Chains A and B, each alone.
Chain A
Amino acid sequence: MIRYMIKNNLKLMFRSPANIILFILMPILVSSVLASAFSALMKSYENKTPFDVGYCMEQESVFCIGMEGLKSGGKQAGVNFTECDEVEATAFTEASDAEAIARHEKDIQTVMNQRNLNVFVEFCKDTYVVWERENAKTEGQILEYLLNAYVEGADRMKLQMVQGGGRSGEIELNIETPEFMPAINSTDYYVIIELAYFGWCALVCAAGLLGAEKKYGINKKYQVAGLSKTKIYLARFLPMVICVFCCEAIAAVIAASTLDVHWGPAGWTIAVFAGMLLAACAFELLIYEITQSMVLSIISSFCIVWFMGYFGGSFETYMFSSMPQILKSLSPIYHGNRALVELSCMGHSDYVLSSLLYSFLLFAGCSLASIILGRVRKRG
C-alpha cells in the first residue's frame, strides 16, 4: 500500500514549482553570484603557495615552544618560516611612543625589502603581529589561518599539561591537514557547497504535502486505515529524498555543462550527497514531528542549518574561515562540504568516511526518534 502513497506524494512534490525553483534554480543562481564575488580571492590564492614568511621572536615568548611544529606544519602546506634576527620583536601599546612605533615599522619594512618577503610575523611575549604587503592579502590570510591552528594546538597542549597528560618538554605542534590544502576555483567551490546547502533545506520540498495532510485532516484517514507510524514516515521521507536528489542532480548537470564545474569521482560524490540528503530529510522531519507546525519547523530547521552552514563553509570558505575547529567538526555540513570539495580538486578526501558516518548516524537516529515520537504521542 505504501507504494501508492510514495508515488502520489512524489507527484505532489514534483508538481510544486517552489521545489523546482528552490532546488534547481536557486543553487545555480546563488553559487554563480558567490563564485563571481569571490573569484578574485580564490584565484589569487591558488598560485600563492609555496611562499616565505619572515619572523622574529621576543625572548621568553610563549611561541618559542612548538615553533618547530609550526615550521614543519607550515612546510607541509607550502609556508616556509625564515627567522630574521636583524629586527627585534616589540609589543607596542596605545601609550607607546609614536616615534618608536614608526621606527619599528620602518625596520620591519627594511627587512621585508632586503629579504624579498611579502609577509612577516612578530612573535611577542604572548601576542603576535602579522605584517603583509598591500598585494599579499591572501598570503596574510593563509598565515593567519596557520597561526590560528597553531594557537589552538598550543591551547590543547596546555590543557593536557594541566590535566597531567604531558610535560612541557614534549610539546610538539603538528599541523597534519591544513585547512587551505585544496586549491579550488570559486565556481567549483560555491556550486558544490550551495548544492549541498540547499539540500539541507529539504523540508520545503515536503511543506505542501505535510501542510495539506494537517490542514485537510488527511492524517485522520491514515489513522482510520490503520497505517503504522513507520509507513507514514517512509511515505513522507522517501519521496522527499528522491525529489530533492533528482532536482539537485539536474542542477548539478546544468552547472557542469554551463559553468564548467568539476565534480570528483562520481561514485563517492553521489554517496556523500545522498548521505547528506538522507540526514537532512530525517533531521527536518524529526523537527516537524516535534513541533507539529510547518512554520515553526521551517524557521527552526533553517536556523539550525544556517549555523551548520556558517561553521561548515557554506558562506565563508572553510579554507579561510577562522572558526574554531571543534565547531566546524560538529557541523555535518562541514564534513560533507570538505569531502565534496576535496573529491573535486584532489580526487580523494579523508572526510568522505566521516561525512558518510555522520550522515548515517543522523539519518538513523532522527528516523528512529521520529517514529518513536509518533507512536508515543497519545491520541486524543
Chain B
Amino acid sequence: MDIILKTKDLTKKYDNRVVVDNLNLEIQKGEIFGLLGPNGAGKSTTMNMICDIVKPTLGSVEFLGRDFKKNRKELVKKLGYIPQDLAIHGNLKAWENVELFTSLYGIRGEELKNAINESLEYVGLSERKDDYAKSFSGGMKRRLNIACAIGHHPELLIFDEPTVGIDPQSRNFILNRIKESNRKGATIIYTSHYMEEVEAICTRIAIMDNGRIIACGTSEELKKLVTNDVDKISLEEVFLTLTGKKLRDY
C-alpha cells in the first residue's frame, strides 16, 4: 500500500520536557488510523506538528511523498483538520461557517456553493443551514465542525477527538460518516479516548505514551500483546496494561 503520511524522528520539546520523542509513523493510504494515549501522551502535539500548527524541535513530516513544510501551499489543500475545539462562529449561520472555512482553501463561486451544500448534506444539517450555529445542540455543532473541514475534499482527514460530549445518536452518525468518507477514498487519522469507537472504526491503532509509540497494529494484534485469548480482553484493558493505571495529572 502507498504511504500517505510519514513522520521522521518527529520531536517536540517544551523547555526540558520532551512531549513527542523521535516519533516515526507511517500512515497508509486508505486506512483509518487510530491514535490512542492517556492525557499528556503527546497525541494532540503530534497532530499539531503534522498540520504545521506547532513547529517541531526536530524531525519532519512527509505528506504524499513530499516534505510538507516545503510544499505546504499545494499539500495543504489535500489535508482536512477537525480540531477538538468547536472551531465555529456562533453568530454565523451554518452555511456561512462552512463558506468561511471552505473558502480558505481557495474554493470560490459556484464551486464553493456546491461544496457548502454537499458538506451540510453530508453531516445532515442541510435543513438547518440558515440557522445560527449558536442555536445548535452540542452534537449539531460537532457535525458542523466536521462540515467546515471537508468542503475541499481532502485526501487525509485528521479527527482530534470529534465525539467528545455528544449523545450516542450523534456519535453513531459521526462514526458512520467517517467510515463513509474512508470508503470514498479518504485516509483518516483518528484520536479519541473512547476505546470502543476506535476499535469499531480503525483498521490500525497506535498506543502512545510519554511521547512515544509503545504499540501499533490491528486491534487483534494489540490484544495479543497482552493475552492470546483475544475474545476475553477489551482494547481498554490492553490500553491500561500497556500504559499503566497511574493517574496522569498534566
Using CB atoms and an 8 Å cutoff, list the residues of chain A in contact with chain B. Answer: 1, 3-5, 8, 11-12, 15-16, 208-209, 212, 216-218, 220-227, 378-380
Contacts and interface: CB of A to CB of B under 8 A. Distances in A.
Contact of B100 (A5, A223, A226, A378): A5
Contacts of B52: 223-224, 226
Contacts of A16: 91
Size band of the B side of the interface? 35 or more
Interface of B: 12, 48-49, 51-56, 72-73, 76, 79, 81, 83-92, 96, 99-101, 103-106, 108, 112, 148-149
**Best-buried of B53, B54, B96 by chain A (most CB within 10 Å):** B53
6 contacts: A8-B96, A217-B83, A220-B87, A223-B53, A225-B104, A379-B53
Contacts of B55: 378-380
B91 A216 contact: no
B92 A12 contact: yes
Given A208-B91, A221-B87, A224-B51, 19 more contacts: A1-B108, A3-B108, A4-B103, A5-B100, A5-B103, A8-B89, A8-B96, A11-B91, A12-B89, A218-B88, A220-B81, A220-B85, A221-B101, A223-B52, A224-B53, A224-B76, A225-B76, A226-B72, A379-B55
Binding site secondary structure of chain B = loop
Nearest to B85: A217
A16 B91 CA distance: 8
A184 to B, nearest CB: 40
Nearest to B76: A226
Contact of A212 (B48, B90, B99): B90
Nearest to B19: A380
Contact of A221 (B48, B81, B96): B81
A158 B21 CA distance: 70
Given A1-B105, A222-B104, A226-B76, A380 B54 contact: yes
Contacts of B101: 221, 225
A4 B87 contact: no
Nearest to B82: A221
Contacts of B112: 4
